[in-house]
Structure 1
Amino acid sequence: EAPVIRPVRTVQVFSTGGSRVRTFAGTTRAGLESQLSFKVSGTLHKVAVKVGDAVEAGAMIARMDATDYEVQAQSTAAQLAQAKASARSANADYERIRGLYENNNASLSELDRARANSESATAQVRALAKQLEAARLQITYTQLKAPVDGKISAVNVQENENVSAGQPIAVLSSGSQPEVEVSVPEVFIAQFHPGMSVKVTVAALPGQELDATVTEVGVAPAAGSATFPVTVRLTRREDGIRPGMAAEVAAKFVSTDKRDRFLVPLSSVGEDDAGRYAYVAEAQKDDPNLATIKRHQVEVGELTQEGLEVFSGLEDGDLVVTAGLSHLTDGMTAKLQTR
Structure 2
Amino acid sequence: MRTSSALRPVDRFTRYLPLVGVAALLVACSRPEPAPEPVRSVKLMTVGVSPLEAQVEYAGEVRARIESRLGFRVAGKIIKRQAELGQRVKAGDVLAQLDPKDYQLATEAARAQVAAAATQRDLAAADFKRYAALKDQNFISGAELERRDTTLKAAQATLDQARAQLASQGNQAEYTRLVADASGVITGIDAEPGQVVSAGTPVVRIAQDGARDVVFVVPEDKVGLMAVGQEVMVRGWSGGDSIAGKVREVAASADASTRTFQVKVAIDRAESPALGATVYVTPKALSHAGTPAIKLPTSALRQEGQATAVWVYDPASSTVKSQVIQIATADGNEAVVASGLAPGMQVVSTGVHVLSPGQKVTVYQQKYAPAPASTAQQATNSVAPASSAGASAAAAAASASAK
Q: TM-score, normalised by structure 2?
A: 0.58
- 2:307 matched residue in structure 1: 277
Q: Give 2:312's aligned residue.
A: none
- Report the CA distance between 1:145 and its aligned residue: 1.0
Q: 2:93 aligns with which of 32, 35, 59?
A: 59
The aligned residue for residue 256 of structure 2 is: 223
The answer as to 2:63 corresponding to 1:29 is yes
Question: Could you tell me which amino acid in structure 2 is paired with residue 251 of structure 1?
Answer: P
- Report matched runs for 1:56-95 at 5 Å: 56-95=90-129
Contact 1:58 1:147 in 2 (8 A): yes
1:315 and 2:339 aligned: no
User: 1:214 maps to what in 2?
Assistant: 247
Q: Give the secondary structure class of the aligned counterpart of 2:56.
A: strand
Instruction: Return the letter of the residue paired with 1:211.
Output: A
Summarize deviations over 1:235-288 as a string: whole Å, max 9, x none. 234585232x43321223466998659xxxxxxxxxxxx68627xxxxxxxxxx
Q: Distance in 2 between matches of 1:142 and 1:313?
A: 62
Deviations 1:73-119 (A, max 9, x none): 11111111121111111111111112112212123443233222211
Which residue identity lines up with residue 75 of structure 1 in the other structure? A
Tell me, yes or no, if the aligned pair for 2:219 and 2:260 is still in contact at 8 Å. yes
Q: Residues 73 and 175 of structure 2 are in contact (CA less than 8 Å); yes or no, is this contact kept in structure 1? A: yes
Shift of 1:314: 5.3
Larger radius of gyration: 2
- Once the two structures are TM-superposed, the CA of residue 58 in structure 1 deviates from its matched residue by 0.9
Distance 2:132 2:197 in 1: 55
CA distance in 2, matches of 1:47, 1:85: 42
Q: Among the aligned pairs, what percent are the same residue?
A: 29
Residue 279 (structure 2) aligned to one of 234, 239, 247: 247
SS, match of residue 228 in structure 2: coil
CA shift at 1:185, angstroms?
Answer: 2.2
SS of 1:151 mapped into structure 2: strand
Q: What does residue 43 of structure 1 align with?
A: 77
> Secondary structure of 1:76's partner?
helix
1:254 and 1:100 mapped to 2: Cα distance?
Answer: 96
Inter-CA distance 42–226: structure 2 relative to 1 (3 Å threshold): closer
Is 2:197 the partner of 1:167? no
Specify the alignment match of 1:269 in structure 2.
none
Cα distance in 1 between the residues matched to 2:291 and 2:64? 41
Aligned to 2:164: 130
Q: In the aligned structure 1, how far is the partner of 2:278 from the partner of 2:290?
A: 33
Does the aligned pair in 2 maintain the 1:298–1:313 contact within 8 Å?
no
CA drift of 1:151 comes to: 0.5
**Cα distance between partner residues in 2 of 1:188 and 1:259:** 22
The residue type equivalent to 1:168 in the other structure is P
Q: Please list the CA deviations of residues 99-145 of structure 1 after superposition, one character each: whole Å capped at 9, or x if unmatched.
A: 11221212344323322221111111011011111111112211111
- Structure 1 residue 121 and structure 2 residue 155: aligned? yes
**More contact order relative to length (CA 8 Å, sep ≥ 6):** 1
The residue number in structure 2 matching 1:305 is none
Residues 120, 177 of structure 1: CA spacing in aligned structure 2 closer, same or farther, 3 A cutoff? closer
Question: Cα deviation per residue 1:207-250 (whole Å; 9 max; x = unaligned)?
Answer: 4533332211223322244432111122234585232x433212
CA distance in 2, matches of 1:105, 1:20: 105
The amino acid across from 1:250 in the alignment is: T
Render the CA deviation track for 1:131-187: whole Å, top value 9, x for unaligned. Answer: 111111112211111111110001111112111111111111023343221111233
Distance 2:142 2:324 in 1: 107
Whether the 8 Å contact between 2:78 and 2:195 is mirrored in structure 1 is yes
CA RMSD of superposed structures (Å): 3.0
- Give the structure with the larger helix fraction: 2
Letter of the structure 2 residue corresponding to residue 49 of structure 1:
A
Cα distance 1:145–1:313, how it changes in 2: closer, same or farther (>3 A)? closer
Q: Which runs of 5+ in 1 are unaligned?
A: 1-16, 262-273, 279-296, 300-310, 318-339
Q: Give 1:72 deviation, angstroms.
A: 0.9
Unaligned runs of 5+ in 2: 1-50, 295-303, 309-322, 333-403
Question: Matches of 1:223 and 1:94 in 2, distance apart?
Answer: 70
After the TM superposition, list the runs of 4 or more consecutive aligned residues in structure 1 that deviate by more than 4 angstroms: 17-20, 254-261
Match of 1:153 in 2: 187
Q: Distance in 1 between matches of 2:324 and 2:329?
A: 7
Helix, strand or coil at the partner of 2:235: strand
Is the contact made by 2:243 and 2:271 (CA closer than 8 Å) also made in structure 1?
Answer: no
Contact 2:52-2:331 at 8 Å conserved across structures: no
